[in-house]
Amino acid sequence: MVKASRSKKRDTMTAQTQTTWHHLSSDWINWADRLAPAAEKINRHMIEAADLEGLARLRAAAPLDVLDLASGVGEPAFSFARALGDAGGHVTASDIVPEMCDGLSARAVEESITNISVIPADMEKLPFSDQSFDVVSCRFGVMFCTDPDQALCEAHRVLRSGGRAVYMVWAPMVDNPLFAAMDAVLGNILGVGFESAGLDPFAFGHPDKSMMRLEDAGFTDIAATTHSPAGRIPEKVAFWKPQMDMLFGNVLRTASDMDRGAIDAAMFETLSPYIENGHFQVPICFHVLSAKRA
Ligand SMILES: C[S@@+](CC[C@H](N)C(=O)[O-])C[C@H]1O[C@@H](n2cnc3c(N)ncnc32)[C@H](O)[C@@H]1O
């Protein structure tokens, strides 16, 4: 009885998550191509952590199978597909929201990426057999699960022996001034922030705790690296718009023009300490976790 009600509660929470991202999917599709060059730059940290060359040796040069979870509209699935490139190999991209999967499929065709297929999937209940992949990747996704530890166990289950899971996760909000500004400004003007939107991007912010969660899911050889790049963007560019739309687009669509103007003015003001020589230089901070299935 208790188990049944817990499972019903979990299903309700997952349905809410799905609805939230469903309403944001048009924003993700809208910004994806413009953000692709920046995405490709940070994705290389995941590709390095996956050690594709080492895995190819382990598999005696058989083509590698990569599963990307919570792919949104293509990151880092496209980067893995390109990295596998000539060596053969295939990426299965997936997301819980069918509209994200549709956006991803359309972009794969536009980009002429052919070694990729797309399957809508909840990463807490993967529709794949045990030991079917060499790499499981997930960029900025696992923290949004109802039960992230279940998702880690599922990743472990579908990996082949010797395979690697790689996760890119946000460092705490205090190390991510763009998100801190967004949370404060939207809170002040629209009364909405990460917490009230039901989003917790920072749940894997502390590497030690995240590494313990991977160990509890059965992984070995666990490592974490921290990265803190800062772009250089002319101060006239409202560079917060993509992230703000992709996380709060559903709320912003209902805001008045006056509120939207006030949001941009407050974002500029809050982030102005990061202006140097006419350019914003605001760091973002994330961790790459990697772990092996023995
Ligand atoms: C912040 S976006 C990241 C998208 C992409 N990986 C990227 O970095 O551009 C989070 C994604 O997680 C997906 N998601 C949330 N919960 C999920 C779950 N339980 N299973 C699979 N995908 C999920 C959402 O639909 C959304 O596309």
Kindly report, residue by residue over 47-87, the tens digit of the pLDDT: 999 999 999 999 997 999 999 999 999 999 999 999 998 77
The mean pLDDT of 265-269, rounded to a whole number, is 98
Strand order in the sheet with 220-227: 116-120, 90-95, 65-69, 133-139, 159-170, 286-292, 220-227
Task: Quote the pLDDT of residue 3.
Answer: 76
Q: Is the CB of 145 under 6 A from ligand 1?
A: yes
Task: Quote the pLDDT of residue 151.
Answer: 98
Q: Is the pLDDT of residue 112 over 90?
A: yes
Q: Whose CA is nearest to atom 4 of ligand 1?
A: 72
Q: Is the CB of 141 under 6 A from ligand 1?
A: yes
Q: Is the pLDDT of residue 1 over 80?
A: no
The mean pLDDT of 271-277, rounded to a whole number, is 97
- Whole-number average pLDDT of the chain: 96
**Span 115-169, pLDDT tens digits:** 999 999 999 999 999 999 999 999 999 999 999 999 999 999 999 999 999 999 9
Q: Whose CA is nearest to atom 22 of ligand 1?
A: 70
Q: Is the CB of 201 under 6 A from ligand 1?
A: no
Task: Quote the pLDDT of residue 61.
Answer: 78
Q: Is the CB of 71 under 6 A from ligand 1?
A: yes
* Domains of the chain, first to last: 2-172+200-230+283-292 (3.40.50.150)
